Amino acid sequence: MEPEVLDVIARLEMRDQQERSLGLVGSDRIQAVHPDSGRLLYVLALAKESKSIVEVGTSHGYSTLWLAAAAKVNGGRVVTCDINPERIAAARQNFADAGLADVIEILEGDARETLRGRSEPVDLLFIDSEKSYYETFFDAVYQRLVKGGMVVADNAVSHQDELEDYISYVENHPNLESARVPIGRGLEISVKLTA
């Protein structure tokens, strides 16, 4: 990976760790995914040669950078969604610092709305956002997900109760196979069986 990407990733990891150790509430933290989850997303996107990646929940762009680094290798791009203008501004700066701005498109606003009306196929969807909307975010993209396309949802272990409906939804979906992976805060990984 390019050193400028690793530099921004390291900076965000340090900040996230400090904010967590200070016990700040979620809204006062950058709320980055666990580093192990970031690296797994990178490896999954590389392994699947994902070109069209969608993310719900940008924050300062930590997970986006892992996904975008893989998208760049794959000749693809990431569409990332966030509702918070201040976080988007910070993410935009981080994408520029990492030299990855050209492979990232930011959709600003409520992803339940901004994701609708798009038509391009999606290879990989990553959800790390408002827990009560995971199903809605999933539904907004599902039709565009290709055969073999993957949906990764964060916090499947740390917030298992809040995500109970989502987890049950994907685990009982007839066109998905899913597995809960206890890495970081827990990832629910689902694969679409037929287009």
Ligand X SMILES: C[S@@+](CC[C@H](N)C(=O)[O-])C[C@H]1O[C@@H](n2cnc3c(N)ncnc32)[C@H](O)[C@@H]1O
Q: Which chain residues interact with ligand X by CB under 6 A?
A: 31-33, 56-57, 59-60, 62-63, 81-84, 87, 110-112, 128-130, 133
**Please, what is the minimum distance in Å from the beta carbon of residue 134 to ligand X?**
11
Beta carbon nearer to ligand X, 165 or 177: 165
Neighbour tally for 143: CB within 10 Å: 10
What letter would DSSP give residue 33?
P
Rounded to an integer, what distance in angstroms lies between the CA atom of residue 39 and that of residue 15?
A: 17
**Please, what is the minimum distance in Å from the beta carbon of residue 164 to ligand X?**
18
**Please, what is the minimum distance in Å from the beta carbon of residue 74 to ligand X?**
20
Beta carbon nearer to ligand X, 130 or 171: 130
Beta carbon nearer to ligand X, 130 or 135: 130
Rounded to an integer, what distance in angstroms lies between the CA atom of residue 35 and that of residue 40?
A: 9
Beta carbon nearer to ligand X, 84 or 178: 84
| CB-based contacts of 71, cutoff 8 Å, min separation 6 | 45, 50, 51, 53, 77, 78, 103
**Please, what is the minimum distance in Å from the beta carbon of residue 147 to ligand X?**
26
| CB-based contacts of 143, cutoff 8 Å, min separation 6 | none
